Amino acid sequence: MIQFQSHKIMAILPITIYPNPILKKKTQKIKDPGDPEVRELILDILETMEKNEGVGLAANQVGKSVRLSVVRYEGRTYILINPKIKSKSWKKVILEERCLSFPGVAIPVKRHAKISVEAQNKSGKKVIIKADGMLARIFQHEIDHLDGIPFIKREVKNKSVKK
């Protein structure tokens, strides 16, 4: 008997735009990272992020209130399931940030220069990622989304900004 694997076409999901309430609410932990629905959501979020030319996208930005975000930076893809920041540097840096849920908005945000993130990968295995510079900033931005903290809450007023 021949079995065919079905390959679902990835879907481009609509981006949730602020002030939608889902963006201000803490997301729910994913109990089974191996669930086929979670795997499908990962692919859909990646496709949506790429189509919208983003470097990171959290599940609640596509209307799903679960602790999942994807990041693609410098040729590497990071799948972060149930991520949490485990350590942060004392040093902070102010840079201008943008967000797909805030079209046309760019604001200065102060973030930790280095962080360590604990998460599960798409297989459910615990991973620890040490990040600095722009990757650390992207992770903090996406984890803030999962915690219901839009980046406008972190805007730095009256500071000089590196662009």
Q: 142 vs 6, 50, 85, 122, 163, CA distance in Å?
A: 31, 15, 11, 17, 20
Catalytic residue among 40, 50, 53, 142, which?
Answer: 142
DSSP letter string, 68-133? EEEEEETTEEEEEEEEEEEEE-S-EEEEEEE-TTSTT-EEEEEEESEEEEEEE-TTS-EEEEEEEH
Q: Determine the straight-line distance between the first and last CA of the chain, rounded to whole angstroms.
A: 59
Gap between the Cα atoms of 46 and 122, Å rounded? 13
74 an active-site residue?
no
Active site (catalytic) residues: 142
